[in-house]
Amino acid sequence: MNKVFPDAAAALFDLQDGATLLVSGFGLCGNPENLIAALRERGTRDLTIVSNNAGVTHDGLGVLLQSRQVRRMVSSYVGENKEFERQFLAGELEVELNPQGTLAERIRAGGAGIPAFYTPTGYGTLVAEGKETREIGGRMCVLEQAIRGDFAFVKAWKGDRFGNLVYRKTARNFAPMMAAAGRITIAEVEELVEPGVLDPDAIHTPSIYVQRIFVGSGWRKPIEQRTVRARPSVVPT
């Protein structure tokens, strides 16, 4: 089975309005920039996007908010994006906030075939409103539903033609669990190698979870908030 596509636009050939997308990244680290850009060009609308974050105003998933292609966001951190804030306060964007560990486990459960699970996180808060609760081991817990997506977009460092993926350091973040929870997982990689080149013990996402793969280009890898210290004065000795 040939999983290699020439570019992001070709890999999105059947993505329709109203789809649910799982998009990797932690802040702006590990974002599938090529897929996000191609999706904006495609103009697909009414999207539900599940992601740790909503990007920033002009980067990451923020570009899809700017073009008004997103109907609903399921996230754990949504700061740094003024357009997100504007749309939410104006009632133009549906938002479901999750504790970060709960969001990660909901996605992991979706990929593992676990329909729901109990967690003590969020009990007694707005997060628990309308959800089943019960006492387990002396602690009150909230029933959380698993998350799956029509598509999963992930960014990897290296991949082979079969779809085996290796992520680079913290850019791995949510990608492995999202790859498992997507009905169709599309991976953009920095380097595409032949099968057998990657060390089997180093593979983070096995090929069975990946349906499409392509070599991306032009990554800017922006920094969400650049914080630097002033250069110290040189003290004569």
The CATH H-level superfamily of 8-114+147-215 is Glutaconate Coenzyme A-transferase (3.40.1080.10)
Report pLDDT digits (tens) over 197-234: 999 999 999 999 999 999 999 877 777 777 888 777 76
Pick from 153, 149, 147: nearest CA to 42: 153
Report whether pLDDT(138) > 80.
yes
Q: Are the C-beta atoms of 8 and 188 separated by less than 8 Å?
A: yes
Pick from 117, 205, 140: nearest CA to 167: 205
Report pLDDT digits (tens) over 148-206: 999 999 999 999 999 999 999 999 999 999 999 999 999 999 999 999 999 999 999 99
Domain map (residue ranges) of the chain: 8-114+147-215
- Measured in whole angstroms, the distance separating CA 136 from the mean position of its chain's CA atoms is 31
